A = this chain, B = another copy of it.
Amino acid sequence: MAITFTISARTSTNAARLGRVETPHGGFDTPAFMPVATAATMKGLSPAQVRSTGSQIILNNAYHLLVRPGAEVLRHFGGSHRFMRWDGPILTDSGGFQAWSMSDVNTINEEGVTFRSFVDGAKIMLSPEGSIEIQNAIGADIIMAFDDCPPSVADEDGAVPRSKVTGGVTRTRPVIRDHAARLREAHERTARWLVRCKAAHRRPEDQALFGIVQGGTDLALRKASVEAVCGVDLPGYAIGGVAVGEGTQEIRRVVEFTAPLLPEGKPRYLMGVGFERDIVSAVAAGIDMFDCVLPTRNGRNALAFTRTGPIRLRNARFRLDSEPIDPDCDCETCRGGFSRGYLRHLFMADEMLGPTLVSLHNIRHFQALLLDIRKAIRQDAWSLLDRDWPVLRDAAPSSASPSAPARSPSSGPSSGPPSGPPSGPPSD
């Protein structure tokens, strides 16, 4: 068994659990937040800086690493841990979501997904077996099944947005006329692909394969997907197809329905979520693991998270502001005395240090939230969270306006909704 999972405490008021996952590269406390190091790098942060945020496990994207630098390079260097010099646990996303959402042209059928490389336009076919092969080469401690992940929300025609522009390239996706049928197909295919993934997995002794539940916002489909996916014995399970365009209330409804259906004694991972309140309500529903690009993608765009809500550092009102981003934050940016005024200067001057310092702060912001979540569970004092995190009290999604609009369907599916224009490939 590649990982072990131990639950050490529970709350009396909801389904939250405190635990720890041990992996071949060390352990991490749950509930856990995993920042996203898509291409085997957390953008401008060194591994030491990532470590300073309290991050214990990080995420890599198999899709990006398959395209560049490719499996040969990763195998040569002995996998991602040694390649990127991160000696802690790593989880890889399977590429199912990215292949679908990012590709210039692609087709999806029972065999897998065919897409064009974002580097040279070459056609690449990614199958369940191919995904596991690259994930075996990357060598993450936790790897994900290759899933069929359609958007959760259809537009007024019943079609999903047919194209989006990313980095100047228009990406075209097939129009889906019957969204309900597409969700059903995705759930069934995901279950069939899971069996193929498990069979293809060559390193079960040191890489834990997690299955992914699909079903969109259709609770009956979610239930059917749980039964099919959890029917395959695996070390952990994830809820996928969430935060791909639907609103906060829909995310919550799906998670509160689905989480309790997952096996009690194994880690439960909610993929690509999310804002502070989404995480807190998902933990209350029994979720143990989270990943999201919000801290880094927003950090690059000068949006900084604080306990009272996000702030846009390019705003002129910060010009002479000598306060740190968040006076209550203990990150290297805030403790280091970098003022909002200085950070604003860095962004106005397009200086790389701005994205680095704000991403560092934003990751710490989420890790501090998870620290407080774990403390609230340990002390069985859930209300501490509302007291210490004013941003959670603010129930109306519209009030988090700097970030909230990006969650709308118009921004297209994303494993983490960006705020403002994305400054790179959509999955970080």
Contact = CB atoms under 8 A, between A and B. Distances in A.
Nearest to A300: B352
Nearest to A76: B320
Interface in A311-360: 319-320, 322, 332, 336-339, 341-342, 345-346, 348-349, 351-353, 355-357
Interface residues of A, number: 40
Integer count of this chain's copies in the complex: 2
Given A46-B357, A338-B85, A339-B77, A41 B346 contact: yes
Contacts of A76: 320, 322, 341
A69 B47 CA distance: 31
Contact of A41 (B47, B77, B353): B353
Given A69-B348, A73-B345, A77-B341, A44 B322 contact: no
A123 interface: no
Nearest to A43: B352
B356 A77 contact: no
A234 interface: no
A85 to B, nearest CB: 5
B44 A336 contact: no
Given A69-B348, A352-B356, 18 more contacts: A39-B349, A39-B351, A41-B346, A43-B352, A46-B332, A46-B353, A48-B332, A73-B341, A76-B320, A77-B320, A77-B341, A82-B337, A83-B339, A84-B342, A85-B342, A352-B352, A352-B355, A356-B356
19 contacts: A39-B351, A43-B352, A43-B353, A44-B44, A44-B352, A46-B356, A46-B357, A68-B345, A68-B349, A69-B345, A69-B348, A73-B319, A77-B339, A77-B342, A85-B337, A85-B338, A85-B342, A352-B356, A356-B356
